[in-house]
Structure 1
Amino acid sequence: MTATKQDIRKFDAEQLKTWLTQHGEQGFRAKQIHEWLWKRAAGSFDEMTNLSQKTRQMLAEHFEIRPMTVAVSQRSADGTIKSSFRLHDGNLIEGVLIPAFKPNDLSAGTESDARMTACVSSQVGCSLTCKFCATGYMDRKRNLEASEIYDQVVTIDRQAKEAYGTGLTNIVYMGMGEPLLNYANVMESVEHITSPNGLGMSAKRITVSTAGIAKMIKKLGDDNVKFNLALSLHAANDVKRNQIMPINESNSLPALADALNYFYRKTGTRVTFEYIVFYNFNDSLQDAKELWQFTKKVPAKVNIIEYNPISEASFKNTDPQTLDKFAGFLEDRGVTVNIRRSRGKDIDAACGQLAGKQ
């Protein structure tokens, strides 16, 4: 019986209404069910207490709410919490809660002011084979459903409230997978997260990160998205970027600059360039100059990111003095620069380390 049940969260409110009326139920129940699924994150039909027992039983006979469970959670010394999530089909993904303070910084006056960020995955594995990223050494098994992305947000929000007494303030699509290669489900998940009929978060608190799919960046512009966009750049010349990000061979820097400018004209939202500084690869002043020149082509700010070593690759993080010189070069030329220190490194929860390990 279970195999024939449909995933109820693949039905929108109108489709639910049609199904209900065809089965002798009143159409307005669809709105109630939709609210239980996306506003209250119900995990079972029994929770839907404003529906009759008969209606709940009928729903349970025909539909299922596919579960996502926490397989393992680890807490870092800096307060970061990484979770391995088991999906209904047995696949594993990872998501991370990143608090903006260390545990010993907590006091009665700081918890409510803390920035709480959920880093969520969009695919099981990844197909892009970026050489510095643990997920890039996995196969892409499948795209995540919108509901599976949504469930990560709900679960990590619950973890934030339990651990720190405050809910999520921000969401970044920077976990496993390439969000723009799962475009429809990512967009639907954002809708459920931001809608007044869903979780009601502000789109401006969401950032979607891409390795650089030019035609899909343009589609974001055409869809006039309200969330923020980040480009994993990591090298501002095509030769170096090709070496570490094979996607660049079909989405070159000139093509990306064109797409990002299109996105900016359509949305008015400045892009963020993410730039990991690798020792003796992309950390010279010449590299900084190339990055500065690229920022002149696209309205952007720059996040400089510490590299987090993985066993599959031999890259190293640059030294602090070189990093400071690199950032200083950009700042002296008017570039907005933010140096992002790694969080959760001790539990493999930092940027580039997610690999769906059990």
Structure 2
Amino acid sequence: MTVKQDKQDIRKLSVDQLKSWMTEHGEKGFRGKQIYEWIWKKSVSSFAEMTNLSLATRELIDQHFVINSLDVSKQQQSNDGTIKSAFRLYDGNIVEGVLIPATDRMTACVSSQVGCSLTCKFCATGYMDRKRNLDAAEMYDQVVAIARQAEGSFKSPLTNIVYMGMGEPLLNYVNVLKSIEHITSPEGLNMSPKRITVSTAGIAKMIKKLGDDEVRFRLALSLHAANDEKRNQIMPINESNSLDNLADALNYFYKKTGNRITFEYIVFNNFNDTLEDARELWEFTKRVPARVNIIEYNPIAEADFKNADADRLDKFAAFLEDRGVSVHIRRSRGKDIDAACGQLANKQTVA
């Protein structure tokens, strides 16, 4: 796809800026609001679709602007129904997104960066270079595309969104929050923020900023070890964001928002799967109001980690449950097409 650099993406403009631009170019100001609705409420990808605008008006905006929408370059469906998409961006870069169907929900897992800079040792994306942040519209477009897959393949609306794909959302803070604004706004997709979860590897100062901004969406921490020595080994970000610092930031976030946090904990064979590891996790949950998602590990070629055996995983969960921790074991979905947690890395050939 050719990079469109000579014209501005019209989605960079606010509704007030669109109204002003229209009046400056001899059009009625309310046309700007109509354009804004076409873009964010009806999710069009071309000016030709804006059928309540005259041909002359459509030609005018086409002379000055573009809509840098993404394309589904490749789509794969897992044996369990999970759909993974390779999304080609306007500049030719690729990110991946996943539709995870279940009986009671349809979840979109979206990416926030092309690649990642955090080098987590168990995650395929962590072995990629970070090329750039996605803008708000590119994250919004992933949600729209995945919602259409849910309707088309399962005759069901999208119910949940998780920012758990490629990249670290809190290192693309402004664009992530702007995308959520468009997704939750009545002038956009009008989804409830309670249906949206942003997952972070743990950047304390940005977690505090979420609290200061009093966000209404859910927050998940990719924890995976509840002592600093082990966490440093698999997540280098922990060296500058220790568990003590994260506990302080998460409690600040909770105090500001009232939203309980989710700890995501991948159980690796013979690394963090003992009852002593479970005890450390239990102790950490006493410091921060949190529920725990225990996640099966999905092996990747770049790392030697293996999933803990099922019996050990169940005992780990039972230890926590017996001590009053809210625990959910999240089984792998889409593993056969490299769509499961930690496997997104653009490995497939795209058209």
Is this a same-fold pair by TM over 0.5? yes
Q: Deviations over 1:140-176 (max 9, x none)?
A: 0000010000000000000111100011000000000
Q: Map 1:66-105 onto structure 2 (within 5 A).
A: 66-101=68-103
Q: Deviations over 1:250-279 (max 9, x none)?
A: 000000000000000000000000000000
Residue 291 (str. 1) matches residue 281 (str. 2): yes
Residue 125 (str. 1) matches residue 93 (str. 2): no
Partner in structure 1 of residue 21 of structure 2: 19
CA distance in 1, matches of 2:6, 2:113: 25
Aligned length: 346
Q: What secondary structure, in the 3-state scheme, does the structure 2 residue paired with 1:85 have?
A: strand
Alpha-carbon shift at residue 67 of structure 1 (Å): 2.3
Residue 152 (str. 1) matches residue 142 (str. 2): yes
Letter in 2 for 1:138: M
Q: Which runs of 4+ in 1 moved over 2 A?
A: none
Letter in 2 for 1:290: E
Letter in 2 for 1:100: A
**Which residue of the other structure, out of 325, 337, 345, is the alignment partner of 2:327?**
337
Residue 234 (str. 1) matches residue 235 (str. 2): no
Partner in structure 1 of residue 30 of structure 2: 28
Partner in structure 1 of residue 65 of structure 2: 63
Q: What secondary structure, in the 3-state scheme, does the structure 2 residue paired with 1:207 have?
A: strand
Q: TM-score, length-normalised on structure 1?
A: 0.96
Residue 356 (str. 1) matches residue 320 (str. 2): no
Alpha-carbon shift at residue 18 of structure 1 (Å): 1.6
Unaligned residue ranges in structure 2 (runs of 5+): none
Q: Map 1:315-326 onto structure 2 (within 5 A).
A: 315-326=305-316
**Percent of aligned pairs sharing the same letter:** 74
Letter in 2 for 1:281: F
CA distance in 1, matches of 2:281, 2:25: 60
**Which residue of the other structure, out of 278, 283, 289, is the alignment partner of 2:268?**
278
CA distance in 2, matches of 1:68, 1:185: 16
Q: What secondary structure, in the 3-state scheme, does the structure 1 residue paired with 2:5 have?
A: helix
Q: TM-score, length-normalised on structure 2?
A: 0.97
**Which residue of the other structure, out of 165, 172, 181, is the alignment partner of 2:155?**
165
Letter in 1 for 2:44: A
CA distance in 1, matches of 2:165, 2:4: 31
Partner in structure 1 of residue 250 of structure 2: 260
CA contact (8 A) 2:75 2:85 kept: yes
Q: What secondary structure, in the 3-state scheme, does the structure 2 residue paired with 1:71 have?
A: strand
Tell me the C-alpha RMSD between the 2 structures. Answer: 0.9
